[in-house]
Chain A
Amino acid sequence: MSELTYTRVFEAPRELVFRCMVEPEHLARFWGPAGVSTPPDSIRVDPRPGGVFETVMVNDADGSRYTMRAVYVEVVEPERLAWTDPETGMTTTSTFTDLGDGRTEIRIRQENVPEAARGPEARAGFRTSLDRFAAYVTSVVNGR
């Protein structure tokens, strides 16, 4: 029940889109949202079940850093890629669909999305790593 999905179509063949999601030199170009860079030498990818997926995000404005740590749970090139955040248990699955006309659809499904917690004290525990990351990105966008 606790899942979110995002879908986007790219004008590129599936093999290339998949490689962009697992190769540091490609990831470095897009993994950080607006105002956030991901230096290629800070990205660790070992795309096999149990392998690490780590990136360091750097705020372009003030240089502050945020580290994302995840572990791959499923790697089926070039169709599916899934990793989990060991801290929160949230799993992100990317499905790559060849649309047959040179375009590729990526569908991101996030499961075990943290639920808001009961009460103000418990809600502090809701500040999971992705939540902190979201707060970090928001502060970047708002110029702070």
Chain B
Amino acid sequence: MALADPTRRAIVARLARGDATVNELAEPFAMSLPAVSKHLKVLERCGLISRSRQAQFRPCHLEGEALDAMMSWIDDNRRIWRERFDKLDAHLRDIQGRGADE
């Protein structure tokens, strides 16, 4: 997942404060420009960031709506498994408490 990587999360956090160029984004990381560009491509491919076509330095822009969609998907998905496992936990206690496993 695009946000599974700590560097990409840091890039997203930086862009939440405003648009930035690749050079500006690379600054806080001990990382080559091509390495940072690779992360930006992942973020761009899934629609989390966009880059202007015409500007010389092609500043990166965070797509807030896409980020919200992704975060809510992750939250919902996590909650489904949490609630499912809460129920499984109760079910396992229930069937074992009765001394039978059927």
Shortest Cβ distance from A102 into B: residue = B96
Q: Is the CB of A116 within 8 A of B66?
A: yes
Bound Cα distance A133, B48 (Å)? 22
Q: Closest approach, in angstroms, between the C-beta of A38 and any C-beta of chain B?
A: 10
Instruction: Answer yes or no: A64 CB below 8 A from chain B CBs.
Output: no
Contacts of A113 in B (CB 8 A): 1
Bound Cα distance A20, B94 (Å)? 12
Size bin of chain B's contact surface? 35 or more
Bound Cα distance A11, B73 (Å)? 29
Give the number of residues in A that approach B within 8 Å (Cβ atoms): 41
Q: Is the CB of B1 within 8 A of A31?
A: no
Bound Cα distance A19, B100 (Å)? 14
Interface string of B78-90 (1 = CB under 8 A from A): 1111111111111
Q: Which of B13-21, B39-47, B52-60 contacts A (4 or more CB under 8 A)?
A: B39-47
Q: Is the CB of B69 within 8 A of A126?
A: yes
Say whether, besides A123-B47, A135-B76, A137-B80, A10 and B89 are in contact (CB < 8 Å): yes
**Residue of B2, B81, B90 ringed by the most chain A CB atoms within 10 A:** B81
Q: Is the CB of A12 within 8 A of B96?
A: yes
Instruction: Answer yes or no: B35 CB below 8 A from chain A CBs.
Output: no
Instruction: Answer yes or no: B70 CB below 8 A from chain A CBs.
Output: yes
Instruction: Answer yes or no: B33 CB below 8 A from chain A CBs.
Output: no
Q: Is the interface of A mostly helix, strand, loop or mixed?
A: mixed
Bound Cα distance A20, B90 (Å)? 12
Q: Is the CB of B73 within 8 A of A118?
A: no
Q: Which of B46, B78, B91 contacts A116 (CB 8 A)?
A: B46
Chain A residues close to B by CB (< 8 Å): 1-4, 6, 8, 10-12, 16-17, 19-20, 26, 29-34, 106, 108, 110, 113-120, 122-123, 126, 130-131, 133-135, 137-138
6 smallest CB-CB distances across A and B, nearest first, come from A134-B76, A115-B46, A30-B87, A33-B83, A118-B47, A30-B88
28 contacts between A and B (CB under 8 A): A1-B1, A1-B5, A2-B1, A4-B1, A6-B78, A6-B85, A8-B81, A10-B85, A11-B96, A12-B92, A16-B92, A16-B101, A20-B91, A20-B92, A30-B85, A30-B91, A31-B84, A32-B87, A34-B83, A108-B81, A113-B1, A114-B73, A116-B46, A116-B47, A118-B44, A118-B50, A122-B47, A130-B77
